Structure 1
């Protein structure tokens, strides 16, 4: 049995399934980041620090561009929910439970402007970070390499389910993603259960992409 060939084919299929749900988010005059389609009717999830203060532009995988409305943002959790006027989009499926340490993880984004990039690593640890307001935020540490342009993109498991939202580099070869469970709760508070199928403050400045 050609294990390497079979494994490579599985990874190729995973990448092809995720890419239609990966978007470019341009929220700053210079630079931008990534995001993911959260619902078929145009909800897009990304990092708060990616959105900035300008009206963001979303570029879909089919090259179409859409001006987005900011539905809600949480500088504390570094999450933002956007809405574009589009339909029949392909949302990513949130994982139903937290990943296991040692599980494969794939980070999608546009590092250094290189579109539709994917890196591979493993889940190194599940952590509870303290926010600026003293709340607990579940995060995932992995060694899937990140770079500027990865922020807001999905971290997925080997089944293509979202386990986190890429957020920052810790230093060395470690990076952090906000747990998809925190993202689900954020969306739930904003738009309610039907979309859970998956004051303006400064974003977290230190270490973010």
Structure 2
């Protein structure tokens, strides 16, 4: 009965609210469970920034401007007897053309030595270098090494900034920053990681041992600096992957290789490398399968130069070289790198297959013939 009475009372209140008197309202009361505490994100105590690294290295990264005069050939039709009488005016003949190009470079020492790419300065009649602060330097080319695409410039200017060189080994995943002058718009910094090390067989240079990075490297950045998160130089930017649909693939020459090339150019005027006097190609895939060799293993000799170290060691065409001093040969570029790194008069042990049978021989490498610098890539 009590429950029935309460129910009737509530119905009456809703139907006749004025019965409570003026200003009176019915308020429904119910308990709510307390909300769980919300954790607000706190700003990190240390913000990720590479400004200090850039400020340490960027002053030593320079813009390199080159110019040269080339002969622009006349149109082939002008050599045709039918058309030649009509275009005898000198304006239609061969003419001189002024070409310019741009790139980047890195001041390696306070003595004024600058590293850049060979293709940046190749064939140049005039080279100008400008610091990031606008200071202009008079420079001259000391020497170049087309096989690694490196060149050394020298300035007599003083009070120069220079980079700190990293000597420790790089790891895949390390943060790197590329500094250069892309498209001539001015000094630019891009960020990425080390994607791979020891890249070769790319067909970019004769001697290849590239760092691969996804830091953007654009035309004009060639010869610029690749630095780590502490501002230390780890490589010289040199190329981008040239397939039209590829992105985020750039290559740099490791600083240890670049420094060795620079030292030899300064001391000897050239880079002295070992030479075996043979020509080779990657072992054909079918032959690898038939012989049961590991993938990409070995180099097949295609030619042996007369009186060269290889011929004296008894190496013959169609031999397959598998090892150099116990190190497996992973293709023709790998073999070339290992032989080239050997000093002349060094004896190397080669293991391989001849007519499917194992053989071992020893060869004393000589000085690799010098390749003259070629025109720009």
Runs of 4+ in 1 over 6 A off after TM superposition: none
132, 136, 139: which is aligned to 1:61? 132
Instruction: Name the structure 1 match of 2:18.
Output: none
2:232 alignment partner in structure 1: 161
TM-score, length-normalised on structure 1?
Answer: 0.85
Q: Measured at CA, do residues 149 and 124 of structure 1 come closer, stay the same or move farther in structure 2, by a change above 3 Å?
A: same
Q: For 1:88-139, what per-residue CA distance to the aligned partner results, in whole angstroms no more than 9, with x for missing partners?
A: 211111110231100001000011112110000000000242597x964321
Q: How does 1:172-191 map to 2 (within 5 A)?
A: 172-191=247-266
How large is the Cα RMSD of the aligned pairs?
2.1
Q: What is the CA–CA distance in structure 2 between the aligned matches of 1:204 and 1:181, rounded to whole Å?
A: 24
Q: Distance in 2 between matches of 1:109 and 1:200?
A: 27
Aligned-residue offset at 1:155: 0.3
**Quick one: structure 1 residues 95 and 115, their matched pair in 2 at CA, closer, same or farther if it must change by over 3 Å?**
same
- 1:33 is aligned to 103
Q: Which residue pairs with 1:196 in the alignment?
A: none
1:163-201 superposed Cα distances (whole Å, 9 cap, x missing partner): 110011114210000111110111221235xxxxxx642
Segments of structure 1 that go 5 or more residues without pairing to the other structure are 193-198
Question: Kindly tell me: are residues 16 and 60 of structure 1, through their superposed partners in 2, closer, same or farther at Cα, counting changes over 3 Å?
Answer: same
Query: 1:154: Cα distance to partner?
Result: 0.5
Q: Which residues of structure 2 form unaligned runs of 5+?
A: 1-41, 68-98, 268-370
Distance (whole Å) between structure 1 residues aligned to residue 222 and residue 195 of structure 2: 19
Structure with larger Rg: 2
CA apart distance, 1:204:
7.0
Within a 5 Å distance, the mapping from 1:118-137 to structure 2 comes to 118-130=189-201, 136-137=207-208
Match of 1:42 among 109, 112, 137: 112
For 1:131 and 1:83, the matched residues in 2 are separated by 30
Question: Could you say if the C-alpha distance between residues 45 and 2 of structure 1 is closer, same or farther in structure 2, counting changes exceeding 3 Å?
Answer: farther
| Alignment match, 2:52 | 13
Aligned partners of 2:112 and 2:156 also within 8 Å: yes
Structure 1 counterpart SS, 2:194: strand
Q: Number of residue pairs matched?
A: 196
Structure 1 residues 129 and 4, CA, compared in 2 at 3 Å: closer, same or farther?
farther
CA distance in structure 1 between the aligned counterparts of 2:59 and 2:225, rounded to whole angstroms: 12
Aligned pair in 2 of structure 1 residues 123, 204: CA closer, same or farther (>3 Å)?
farther
Q: Is the 8 A contact 1:23 1:37 kept in 2?
A: yes
CA distance in 2, matches of 1:136, 1:147: 22
